[in-house]
Amino acid sequence: MKYIVSIILLFTIFTLSFAQVNKPKSVAASKNGGETSPTSISLTLKPYTKTWVYIGSYYGKGKTLVDSVFLDDESKGVFKPAKKYTQGIYFVVSPKFAILFEFLMDEKQHFSISADTAKREDPIIKGSFENDIFKTYSEYSIKQGKLLSDLSDKFKQSTSKADSSKLRNEIIKENKALQQYRDSLTKKYPSSLLSTLLNAMKQPEYPAIPVVNGKADSLYPYHYVKDHFWDDVEFNDDRLLRTPFFEPKLDNYFKTLVSADPDSIYKEIKYIMLYARTGKEIYPYLLTKFTNKYINPEIMGQDKVFVKMFEDFYSKGDTTYLNAASRKTIVERAYSLMANQLGNPAPPLDLTDTLGNTVSLYKLGGKFTFVVFWDPTCGHCKAELPRIDSMYKARWKGLGVTLYSVNVSSDKNTTQELKKFIREKNLDAGWIYTAQTKEARDDEQKAGLPNYRQLYDVYKTPTMYLLDESKRIIAKQLSLEQFNDIISAKLKSK
């Protein structure tokens, strides 16, 4: 059995280069701000003189520069922005954009920082109670972290069962001591920023598993951890964004504790978003995060999460967070995905084949219909269609699969290219090749009807769908092998 020691220290000392950085918008305020500024943070940073230095903060999984100040010939400068910074974990950044050390941005934001790059692990911060208790905590956690790291190394190197057992118990004991120390701080300073940070870091530990009718409840640990995962965490607290651990914890929650079923995912997202709604920074951040994840999900069918987000949030006014281009993309993609959700009837297709005849999707027979939208000039399509043909001849034809191909190109020259490609690859047997005529497309536009690109979300080629006997969508946007597995599973279930 492997034992993993996990230690999270707030006060991390490291150097990081920012690749491309623009000066923050509040630079001018810092440089010219007067006594009316709600924030005044004086910085002495030796040996730098007559140069710009910066403060930055964590922002979700990333880091961002927040402000800058020009140091005088005595290495001194004062940050005086027009409005207060969002509280959280911040860091001082050198002229070459290297992180020097961290500190807490408290609520009052009237304190001084004195530091020397030769001793950057020991900045002196005066006038901030939050940084006082943060320093006390950091000193203890670094000491305890070193102890746990040493015990972990010994555990890995131990050769006897007795030593391993003893070291394992010591690790458990010292980890517990670290958590008890954190708990004592949150109890002593419940309204402090440090308490908020520690609560956000905390992972629930389940108590003894109950025994019911002589049998242990194996699901109890899962339900307990899930139910208590967000204890004492306020999703509308903008300060959570200014930490390095909130978003990873959020990702871990969805990865390990939430079912991959889109309805289960959306239930969690809706709760979080409604809770976060009053957060000025965190609400639009989370809305964007979940949108980006599920507008093009990794798992088939999870685009339903994005559709439901659009219905409950974007369609009710939350597009005000977006610029015009993003708003257009969100709205168009949402309406496109609404038309091709798993389990829904496929949108009708009445297109023209290579002989000039109209072929209706809904008049085709077969236990399954495989629909592929492609372009004869697309390199990936040219590689994929022969593979589909091979699968059809080797297996799908005998299973009652019908192939319905849609040429998405509007270029008349592609008709000849299509016929040439069919001949060269010997794809004529069993395929139905269709395209939309210019006349049909014009009539559609005049009537204000959505086209098949919108209805089938065809933003790349090839785009592929698998329909059942009733022309309901049972799979989409998968690899050829995955489509084949779906067909096998459906046949087996019947």
Tens digit of each residue's pLDDT (9 = 90 or more) over 340-350: 999 999 999 99
Q: Of 97, 126, 155, which residue is a domain's last? A: 126
Q: Taking 50 as the threshold, does the pLDDT of residue 375 lie above it?
A: yes
| pLDDT of 466 | 98
In a domain, 266, yes or no: yes
In a domain, 280, yes or no: yes
Q: How far is CA 336 from CA 81, 232, 326, 360, 455, in A?
A: 44, 39, 15, 21, 5
Q: CATH no. for residue 469?
A: 3.40.30.10
Q: Of 309, 338, 367, which residue is a domain's last? A: 338
* Amino acid sitting at position 158: S
Confidence of residue 367 (pLDDT cuts 50, 70, 90): very high
Confidence of residue 318 (pLDDT cuts 50, 70, 90): confident
In a domain, 311, yes or no: yes
92 and 181 in a single domain? The answer is no
Measured in whole angstroms, how far is the alpha carbon of residue 53 from the centre of its chain?
31
Give the separation between CA 261 and CA 268, rounded to whole angstroms. Answer: 11
Give the separation between CA 69 and CA 259, rounded to whole angstroms. Answer: 48
In the numeric block, which tokens belong to residue 334?
């949402």
Q: 20: helix, coil or strand?
A: coil
Q: How do beta strands 51-59 and 88-93 pair? A: antiparallel
Q: Which domain holds residue 312?
A: 211-338
Torsion angles phi and psi, residue 285, rounded to 5: -65, -50
251 and 297 in a single domain? The answer is yes
Beta bridge partners of 113: 43, 125
| Structural domain count, the chain | 4
In a domain, 448, yes or no: yes
479 and 411 in a single domain? The answer is yes
In a domain, 146, yes or no: yes
324 and 388 in a single domain? The answer is no
| pLDDT of 96 | 95
In a domain, 22, yes or no: no
Sheet holding 358-360, edge to edge: 358-360, 350-353, 431-435, 401-407, 368-374, 463-467, 473-476
| pLDDT of 397 | 94
Give the separation between CA 234 and CA 279, rounded to whole angstroms. Answer: 10
- Tens of pLDDT, residues 399-449: 999 999 999 986 666 677 778 888 888 886 789 999 999 899 999 999 999
101 and 165 in a single domain? The answer is no
Q: CATH no. for residue 48?
A: 2.60.40.1120
Cα torsion 421, 425, 428, 434: sign: negative
417 and 477 in a single domain? The answer is yes
Question: Average of pLDDT values for 37-61?
Answer: 95
354 and 456 in a single domain? The answer is yes
Residue 489's CB: how many other CB atoms inside 10 A?
Answer: 12
In a domain, 206, yes or no: no
Q: Of 141, 170, 201, which residue is a domain's last? A: 201
- Tens of pLDDT, residues 210-249: 888 888 888 999 999 999 999 999 999 999 999 999 999 9
Length of the chain: 494
Give the separation between CA 9 and CA 130, rounded to whole angstroms. Answer: 16
Q: 374: helix, coil or strand?
A: strand
Q: 388: helix, coil or strand?
A: helix
In a domain, 34, yes or no: yes
193 and 249 in a single domain? The answer is no
| pLDDT of 35 | 54
- Answer for the pair 344, 457: CB distance below 8 angstroms, yes or no: no
403 and 445 in a single domain? The answer is yes
Question: Average of pLDDT values for 319-327?
Answer: 84
Which segments of 171-309 are extended strands (E)?
211-212, 215-216
320 and 414 in a single domain? The answer is no
358 and 480 in a single domain? The answer is yes
160 and 113 in a single domain? The answer is no
